[in-house]
Amino acid sequence: MGIFDKIKNAIWGKEEAASPKDTATVNPASPPIAASTTASAPKSAPSNAAPVQPSGSTAAPKAAASAPVDVAAILDAAVKANGQKLDWRNSIVDLMKALNLDSSLSARKELAGELNYSGDTNDSASMNIWLHKAVMQKLAQNGGKVPSELTA
């Protein structure tokens, strides 16, 4: 899993946990669970065993696809829970720290490679500015509701 995927999964995972409404709207996960409690036919038991496990793993992408994920609200809550003074709106390092992800230079260089950064990765200040904007744009492209000033 790449660094951007870790960022996205940390945000989307928090959205699912913070918003039970989204998981309740994912009805495909509900029938296998309901069928497992009322299963009387032999056909139900084998089909339940497999779907029950994937339903938990597929609930997040379906929930994320059905409604925009409020990236700002999730990151604001993550900063508050972290307890540090973090400025995720301007700093890729702080954004990663808020999500409890590795924010080291090597991790950011890896992220830069994933996002096709063409600048000098040894100029970390320029790379960090570019990364922050690129991550915000990519989150928006993937269904995130990102403040417009952060994607411009």
Amino acid at 84: Q
Is the separation of the CB atoms in 92 and 135 below 8 Å? yes
pLDDT value at 140 more than 50: yes
C-alpha distances out from residue 75 to 10, 107, 151, Å:
10, 19, 15
0.85 exceeded by pTM: no
Average pLDDT, the chain: 76
The residues that bridge with 78 in the sheet, in sequence order, are none
Residue-wise pLDDT for 94-111, tens only, equals 999 999 999 999 999 999
70 phi/psi in degrees, rounded to 5: -80, 90
Angle between helices 71-82 and 3-18 (to 10 degrees): 90
As given in the structure block, the two tokens for residue 110 are: 């890896």
Q: What is the pLDDT of residue 39?
A: 40
Compute the average pLDDT of residues 8-22.
64
Query: Which pair of tokens denotes residue 83?
Result: 């307890």
